[in-house]
Structure 1
Amino acid sequence: MRPLNLIKTILIEGNIGVGKSTIMSHIASNYSSNLVQVHREPIENWMDIKGFDLLKALYTESNRWTFTFEMTALLSRIKTHTNAIHNHHIHIYERSILSCFHVFIDYDRKQNYLNDAEYRILQDHFQYGLEKTMDLSSTVIFYFDLSPKKCLERIIKRSRQSELSINLKRLEQLKYHYDKFIQNFHLCPVKIIDVSQSIEQTYQQVDSVLNEMITKNQENRI
């Protein structure tokens, strides 16, 4: 087994609609699975829990379903990190338990979608997941930055039924919480990527950093 300091983790972070899934698809299609393991958000699972669309319920009945969704999302991410097989150079995750708690759950609390007891339960699970599944010493965050208006345009364009009730106000507030999290988080490096540019330019930025990480990992193994 390789030393832990050679296991590199990239967390792809950003608001709803910034283009994380597009980048994940690009990486999965252009890099060998022997070098990179891609971990996508299990959105399809959240949209079909024995026929129930929990993601849609989150947006349409936030007061009723926020705690259920956030617990489901948090446990999904902890499970993904726990089950990752560390025989690859780099693991890339679409969002993480960090943003799950510091962005989305923080937003939910400010909106009074969570009571104190629910928040404490989520906080305990977050702390457990952080301690058991994350090595921040070998992690870097890619923060995809985009205006809420552009995010909304992309959400409308992709027409995911579960997201049709997302409005600009929610996206603006989530961006506020994301920006606050990124500005105040100092436990690992953060690479801010402006995704208002062309998709080709975004690919180039991501590829440049990813190729450098792969090269350094290969050199360290020699």
Structure 2
Amino acid sequence: MQVIKKPFRVAIEGNVGSGKSTLIKYFEKFKEVETNAEPIETWRDLNGHNLLQLTYSDPHRWNFAFQHNVQLSRLNLQSKTTNKDIQMFERSLQNNRYCFVEMAHDKGLLSSPEYGVMCQWYEYIEANVDIGLDLIVYLRSLPDIVFTRMQRRNRPEERTIKLDYLVDLHEYYEKWLMKKYYNLPCSLLVINVDKDLSENQLIDLYKTYEDRILGKIPVL
């Protein structure tokens, strides 16, 4: 019987505009790496409906449906097989559970029954599907810095995002990864990206962490 080698799984985490997409694009050229960008197009076109835009424009109405769609799309990515040595994901199921779902519930965007449904679904997935990670890379940046980057790239769905939202999301990332309110599922590598760096400057920064991101040097 052929033994299938399990890939080294890396999740790239961070606030909106922290440089996740730039890092993912940089590692696309590595033949041993399978990169998985956030499935934004799936959220933009759910049977012709832009669920991402609907959620940003009316979060009380659409957050529950959106969280379900996000969890399903991330599950599809994080549970698939690959012949590559490394799988890299732009955000993760774990992130959705411990940052976005927690924040939505605390802000009143998910009712307690809706929150309970999301938590039960996640617990079932975690118990029955291999969604394990080997490394989380946290691109840590101040909210005002990522707000400037977000405005510069000018994605249509993000035009309604306020600085307060980024401040809140930063706090939930900090609770999850830095203050460790929940058990971390794997090793953590923190890369500080507090300066307003250009794309080329971000890539130069990522190169200095390349071996650790690819699992060639252990992250303690």
TM value normalised by structure 1: 0.87
Contact 1:97–1:129, Cα closer than 8 Å, also in 2: no
Q: Match for 1:194 among 192, 195, 204? A: 192
- 8 Å Cα contact 1:47/1:162 also seen in 2: no
Q: Aligned partners of 2:184, 2:43: CA distance in 1, in Å? A: 31
Unaligned runs of 5+ in 1: 217-222
Q: Is the 8 A contact 1:81 1:134 kept in 2?
A: yes
Give the match's secondary structure for 1:200: helix
How much has 1:196 moved relative to structure 2? 2.9
Superposition map of 1:71-110 within 5 A: 71-82=68-79, 84-110=80-106
Amino acid at match of 1:154: R
Q: Secondary structure at the match of 1:79?
A: helix
SS of the residue 1:133 aligns to: coil
User: Which position in structure 2 is the counterpart of 1:14?
Assistant: 14
Equivalent in the alignment of 1:142? 137
Task: Tell me the secondary structure at the aligned position of residue 10 of structure 1.
Answer: strand
Instruction: Give me the whole-angstrom Cα distance separating, in 1, the residues matched to 2:203 and 2:113.
Output: 45
Indicate which of 41, 45, 49 corresponds to 1:48. Answer: 45
Cα deviation for residue 200 of structure 1 reads 3.4
Match of 1:119 among 105, 108, 115: 115
TM-score of the superposition, structure 2-length normalised? 0.88
Aligned partner (choices 56, 59, 65) of residue 59 of structure 1: 56
- Aligned identity (percent) is 27
- Structure 2 unaligned runs (5+)? 196-200
Q: Helix, strand or coil: the match of 2:28?
A: helix
Structure 1 residues 3 and 51: alpha-carbon distance in aligned structure 2, compared to 1, 3 A threshold: closer
Question: 1:70 is matched with which residue: 67, 72, 75?
Answer: 67
Report the number of matched residues. 207
